[in-house]
Amino acid sequence: MLTEFKSPINVLLIDDRAVEPKLIEPALTASTRLRFSCRYAYSMAEAMTLPMDTPADVIFLNLDLPGGKAPRKISDVQRRWPGAAIIAIAGTDDQAAGLAALGGGAQDYLIRKEYAPEVLERCVLYALERKKSMDRLVRHTRDLQRANEDLNRFASVASHDLKAPLRGILHLTQMIEEDLGEGIPGETREKMDFLRKRVSMMNDLLTRLLEYARTGLDHTQVEQIHVGEMVRDIVEMLDLPTGFSVEADPSLPTLHTARTPLQQVLQNLISNAVRYNDKSDGRVRVHATHEGPWHTRISVTDNGPGIDPRFSGKVFEIFQTLRPKDEVESTGVGLAIVKKIVESLGCRVGLDSRPGFGATFHFTWPLHWPHQDDQAPPPEAALEAVPIRVDD
């Protein structure tokens, strides 16, 4: 690790107590493994007026300096030397200030007078390594945000541009039928219906692709949601076959969560259970159990044909379906959206099923939305995810 940092390491000591730099510099220069070049500033004002090209790889900053609160000092130093690692110096009886400095952007902290050479060397190396890691994380986060924005723009443009010729095809079929009038042959009419059906499927696919690309975005509005009421609202929007029933079990909880992602998950799973059910008296039950102190487990159980476990590996892959699209209209995107949403929360989704005995799709969900509470629920990503079947 030592070879990763240039030599000498440029150190700036910002402290209004003249004795502190005089203690720190000898301890640093006593290192047999690293070389240091030290410079002093005895106030924040003096530090801020140093030449712009003043090198600083590591900055020791006294938190008790006059000129504002500690977070402001750290912020000022970060803006002046964005590439430097900051080590805060806290009072001998003020370890809390050191910990707060870490939260404010410092890479490490020292308690005053703890200037043993081995302590300082270890502190400097840790601060430099942590600064590299934090900078790398910031770059990756920025790149990820840019990639998400690019993907969202691409999906929007692609969806719009690809739908335009579909609208033209539909309009053309209508014009042909109007021109032929009542004399259109039956076989031709069937082909026109088939063409319109295919165009409609393509339009739905583009819509779902756009929905998939936008999954995870703009889900920040959080509210109290009774899952049972949400299930009943979803059922009202579905065109259930005659004799089909969907039950919202009393076990369904009230969650402090974002509405859109939960509704997407439930709607995809319920519509999937309805679409693939082969019974004249199809039944779906949505129920829940506790899953530890932080999560609930919501299940969607149906009395449909069930799924052979041999096919469980492909069902969450986008565009994958278990039955030909000519038999069941399906884009193969719905459960990919379910997987993406659930796993983005560090939760898991799974399936219990065997042929002829229906299926139970289940997923875990945080009782409280993780980005809203002081103490966020721990992720469940360490638990093995079990794939489930494909839907629309």
Query: What would the pLDDT profile of 155-194 be if each residue is shown by its tens digit?
Result: 777 777 777 888 888 888 888 888 888 878 888 888 888 8
Tokens 């289940």: give the residue: 362
Q: Do domains 2-140 and 219-392 have the same CATH topology?
A: no
Backbone angles phi, psi at 329, to 5 degrees: -65, 120
Query: What would the pLDDT profile of 195-253 be if each residue is shown by its tens digit?
Result: 888 888 778 777 766 766 666 555 557 889 999 999 998 898 887 888 899 999 999 99
pLDDT at res. 286? 97
CATH of domain 219-392: 3.30.565.10
pLDDT at res. 254? 94
Percent residues over pLDDT 90 in the chain: 21
Domain coordinates of the chain in residue numbers?
Answer: 2-140, 219-392
The mean per-residue pLDDT over the stretch 88-104 comes to 81
pLDDT at res. 245? 93
Contacts of 378 (CB under 8 A, 6+ apart): 294, 346
Query: What would the pLDDT profile of 279-334 be if each residue is shown by its tens digit?
Result: 889 999 999 999 988 899 999 999 988 887 777 667 766 655 555 445 545 556 78
Is residue 258 within 8 Å of residue 365, measured between CB atoms?
A: no
- Give 372's pLDDT tier (boundaries 50, 70, 90): very low
Query: What would the pLDDT profile of 145-161 be if each residue is shown by its tens digit?
Result: 787 777 777 777 777 77
* pLDDT for residue 119 is more than 50: yes
Q: For residue 293, say if its preceding peptide bond is cis, omega within 30 degrees of 0.
A: no
pTM above 0.75, yes or no: no
In 33-116, alpha helices (H): 44-48, 70-80, 95-103
CA distances from 222 to 293, 367, 370, 371 (A): 20, 12, 10, 10
pLDDT at res. 323? 52
**To the nearest whole number, what is the mean pLDDT of the chain?**
81
Percent residues over pLDDT 70 in the chain: 82
pLDDT at res. 148? 74
The mean per-residue pLDDT over the stretch 363-380 comes to 65
pLDDT at res. 101? 87
pLDDT at res. 331? 57
* pLDDT for residue 64 is more than 60: yes
pLDDT at res. 67? 66
Containing 331, the helix (H) or strand (E) segment is none
Is residue 350 within 8 Å of residue 385, measured between CB atoms?
A: yes
Containing 86, the helix (H) or strand (E) segment is strand 85-90
* pLDDT for residue 357 is more than 80: yes
- Compute the chain's Rg from CA coordinates: 31
CATH of domain 2-140: 3.40.50.2300
